[in-house]
Each structure stands twice: as structure tokens, then as C-alpha cells.
Amino acid sequence: MITVLQNFICTQKKRFELLEVQVPNMAKVFKDYEFFINYGSIHNVFEVGQLYEDNIKKLTFENNLKENWGEVTLAMVDRVKTPYTMILCEDFEYRITYKGWKEMMDEFVKRDVSYMPIGRLWKYTEEKFHDGYESGKNLWFYPATQSPGSSLSVDAIYKTEMFKERLEELQKYGPNRFPLNLPHHYEDVFHEDNNKGVKQWGDDVLCAVPKEVILMHIQEETETRLNK
């Protein structure tokens, strides 16, 4: 049903220590899924590769060093055979069990959701957004035009073909605020400021957001995701 994609580097000791804790947790929650992982650096490649191999049963682990996040990710999506793709950063703390995740995804699939951001949940679960949502058991639902976020996310579940279309379109754009090797370039291009954010999909595309903060992005206040 879902394939998990990650395309990242982890060159700092503190980051690797976080991976050592969270990759086993991620593997338990997503144990039914196939994983495509690209590690885009030589530094720590053997350590990171071994960590994933020790924990993920259905794993394709690659070391593509091309400095174009969108192009490398598109090549991974081209091999996905499931109707949904989950693109995911590596530095999340997992606050949900396998059983809780499965129940939530049953609701997600039953409603035929097309897109669900899973990063920044501390923001999207705020009460100020609730009037624009339809309440489900584990999820809030909304048409794309009522999106609480201003850009398409690189921490999200997409219908695979919709994600592939965006990645193909991304190849037309050179660097603007961010270089091509960073996922931030994707979010910068597919932003409401460019009329290319979530709302472009219109009223007929159903989106969702979890009611609880099931994942929390771990970073110190002074740290940015540019510094990995």
C-alpha cells in the first residue's frame, strides 16, 4: 500500500546518534512497508547502511552522490509500485505504535486521501485550523483549497502518481532560495507564493492531517536542516 522513501545525509555525530535511536522505532511502526533509501554522502555511509540493514526487512539502500535531490528522488519514485509514497526525513521522534499507525492508515485509505503532511504537526493540529477541517476518528480531513500549509511538504504521504508529477515538474526549475541538493528546493518551488502549493489541487482533492503529533522533528533551536 505504501512505500517509504528517504534521501538524506548524516555527517554529524549527534545526528547519527539520533538515527541509532529512531531507525529501530521507525522500523517497528512501518514494518509492513518497503523502503527505498538514498544516502547522499561518503561520510558515515557504511555505518548508516548497516543501521538500516539491521532494522529494515524490505530495504533498497543506495549511495547516489548526485547533488540534485529532486532528480535522485524521482529516480527512486520511478521504481515504486504501491499507490502511496511516504517521503520522510530521517530525524523524527516516533510517538505512535504500529497498531495506532495501522488504524490511522485504514481510515486514510478508506477515505481515499491524496495527500497528508506528517511534518510540522505541532502547527497543523492547532485549534485555530479546526474550523476548516472535517473530523474523523484519527484524522482531520480538508479539501486542498483549505490547506493549513503554504507549500507541498517533503515529509508527507502522497498518491504516488501525484508525487511523481511534482518531481517531474521540479526538473524544470533551477536553484532559487535553496540549492538543488536540498529538499528545501522542492518546498520552495511548490509554494503558494508561486501558485503551486497544496491549494492548486482544488476542492476535489481530499487531504488529511493526524489529530495527534505522531512524529516530532528533532532539532535544537539554533540548528537548521541545512546543517547535517
Per-residue model confidence as pLDDT tens digits over 135-160: 999 999 999 999 999 999 999 999 99
Q: Average of pLDDT values for 206-217? A: 94
What does 9-61 look like in DSSP terms, one character per residue? Answer: ---SHHHHHHHHHHHHHHHHHTTTSEEEEEE--STTHHHHHHHHHHH-SSEEE
220: pLDDT strictly greater than 70: no
Strand partners, 210: 139
How far is the C-alpha of 106 from the C-alpha of 72, rounded, in Å?
30
Closest CA to 154 of 170, 140, 142, 134: 170
How far is the C-alpha of 208 from the C-alpha of 198, rounded, in Å?
12
How many other C-beta atoms are found inside a 10 Å radius of the C-beta of residue 15?
Answer: 21
Q: What proportion of the chain, given as a percentage, has pLDDT over 90?
A: 89
Q: Average of pLDDT values for 18-30? A: 96
How far is the C-alpha of 2 from the C-alpha of 113, rounded, in Å?
13
Taking CA atoms, 172 is separated from 65, 70, 175, 189, in Å, by 21, 11, 10, 10
Whether the CB-CB separation of 190 and 166 falls below 8 Å is answered with yes
How far is the C-alpha of 216 from the C-alpha of 93, rounded, in Å?
5
* Summary mean pLDDT of the chain: 93
What are the two backbone dihedrals, phi and then psi, of residue 58, each rounded to the nearest 5 degrees? -105, 90
Question: Higher pLDDT residue, 120 or 41?
Answer: 41
20: pLDDT strictly greater than 80: yes
Domains (ranges, CATH) in the chain?
2-217 (3.90.550.10)
